[in-house]
Amino acid sequence: MDQQPVAVIGLGYVGSVTAASLAARGHRVIGLDRRAPVTDAMARGIAPIPEPGLEERLARAASRQTLELTTDPSVLARCRASLVCVGTPVGADGQLVVDDLLAALDDVARFAPRDHVCVIRSTVPPGLYERARRRLARPDVGLALNPEFLREGSAVADLEKPELIVFATEDEHAARFCEALYADQSERLRRTDPPTAEVLKLVNNAWHALKVAFANEVARVTLPVGVDPFAVMSLLCADTKLNTSAAYLRPGMPFGGACLVKDVASITTHAAKHAVDAPLFGSILRSNDAHLRFLVDTVLAHRPKTVAIVGVGFKPGAADVRDSAPVRLVHALLDAGLHVTVADSAVLDARVPPLGLDALRAALGDPRAQAAPDVAHAVAGADLVVVGHPCAEDRAALVAAAPKVPVLDTAGELSRKLSDEDRASLAPVVVLASRR
């Protein structure tokens, strides 16, 4: 990387670790913070936070003479790029306070040379990238987001041996800088769009918080019946195929089936029976219902008269419709006054009575819903097509039918499993789908 210095603005938890680690690896770094005691301490090799390995990095940087510390923002005029690591605490209204971040951007706008790159590592609220772009008001300064995923107590290790590095920018000069900065960790580097990067850090920490709350609720509902919650969670975590994996972590239809709904209801009832306050468990079914209402509202927003739904099993390709979310969606749309036609080859292929169309009619459980013999019949005349949980045969049939109406890809089946060419033959309105 170019040896023109890189500035690290804000020497709190993230900034001090970032500055010391980069400098220890041979990058020329200027650490900038308004607090003189912090810059003075780091200049003497004293870590401003008790982080394992940090003082060793400071000592290595000192021996290599690669780290300069200052409170003077005019040093930005000498820097190729700046990594903004200032704090964004939460305010009384629950929103992140970005005053210090905006002040740092003002310094960049004032002092940075042409072709400077400003990389924001601070945790930011949605919409900050565009706000930052307007605040900088410097088309010659590239802007990028590079959210950090550092844990107190292991921040140095997390920075130097990360599982994932994410950056986002609309500027190719800034993209090249980020790629060069992480050249020795390129296999972990992922580029995304700014709105995704803004939300990612918040979602990550919400997920971690959810896991803690879940484990604690497990403790509260198991202890009244003499069960060791540590044993329960140890066994849960031993299953890395389903329980501690990416399984079930893809947005889509509400959950359904023979197990999830009844078992969530059971553990919630158990908690109430033992007077255990378990709001997380109690909210799961409510959240599931809210998601179904969202899908209903999405359909109604298109003002269709006739809707075709492809795939009504409780999961993709399944003939089992017990507590099926697509079937619940059918009933909700019928109740809203829409005409609904349904196709599902997996249900039509039933091996025990009822069979064929009779099996599909029985699965729907409502004479108002029309069971179609195939996808082509279902989508003919429809104003809108909803993709629920289709089997592979029905996905292919939908492409062949190529309806010239909006297609709501509720569970991402088209976006994930169709080729670009096949998808282009449709006119999907992406609801919860990803093209990646």
**Where does the pLDDT of residue 435 fall: very low under 50, low under 70, confident under 90, or very high at 90 and above?**
very low
Beta bridge partners of 166: 190
**Where does the pLDDT of residue 351 fall: very low under 50, low under 70, confident under 90, or very high at 90 and above?**
confident
The sheet with strand 384-389 has its strands ordered as: 370-371, 339-343, 306-312, 384-389, 407-409, 428-429
CA torsion 231→237→239→242, rounded to 10°?
130
Are residues 171 and 221 located together in one domain of the fold?
no
Q: Tell me, what's the pLDDT at 48?
A: 92
- Vertex 61 angle, CA 110 and 16, to 5°: 55
280 lies in some domain: no
Q: Which of 2-6, 202-206, 300-304 has the lowest mean pLDDT?
A: 2-6
- pLDDT tens track for 262-314: 899 999 999 999 999 999 999 999 999 999 999 999 999 999 999 999 999 98
- When pLDDT is averaged across residues 12-26 and rounded to a whole number, the result is 96
Residue 85 annotated to the active site: no
Q: Establish how many alpha carbons lie within 13 A of residue 114's alpha carbon, considering only the half-sphere containing its beta carbon.
A: 0
Candidates 85, 237, 259, 391; catalytic one: 259
Residue 436 pLDDT > 50, yes or no?
no
What is the 8-class DSSP label of residue 372? Answer: P
Q: What is the mean pLDDT of the chain?
A: 92
384 lies in some domain: yes
Are residues 109 and 48 located together in one domain of the fold?
yes
Q: Report yes or no: 34 and 71 within 8 Å, Cβ to Cβ.
A: yes
Percentage of residues in the chain with pLDDT exceeding 90? 80
Q: Which has more pLDDT, 429 or 204?
A: 204
201 lies in some domain: yes
256 lies in some domain: no
Q: Report yes or no: 336 and 296 within 8 Å, Cβ to Cβ.
A: yes
Are residues 172 and 243 located together in one domain of the fold?
no
Are residues 29 and 161 located together in one domain of the fold?
yes
- When pLDDT is averaged across residues 175-200 and rounded to a whole number, the result is 96
Residue 206 pLDDT > 80, yes or no?
yes
- When pLDDT is averaged across residues 98-107 and rounded to a whole number, the result is 97
**Which residue segment(s) compose the domain that 420 sits in?**
291-429
Are residues 76 and 178 located together in one domain of the fold?
yes
Count up the domains in the chain and report the number: 3
Q: Tell me, what's the pLDDT at 432?
A: 59
Are residues 82 and 142 located together in one domain of the fold?
yes
Are residues 177 and 202 located together in one domain of the fold?
no
- pLDDT tens track for 369-427: 999 999 999 999 999 999 999 999 999 999 888 888 999 988 777 767 777 777 777 76
- When pLDDT is averaged across residues 73-79 and rounded to a whole number, the result is 97
Separation of alpha carbons 39 and 50, rounded Å: 16
CATH number at residue 295: 3.40.50.720
Are residues 108 and 14 located together in one domain of the fold?
yes
Residue 322 pLDDT > 90, yes or no?
no
- When pLDDT is averaged across residues 425-435 and rounded to a whole number, the result is 62
Percentage of residues in the chain with pLDDT exceeding 70? 97
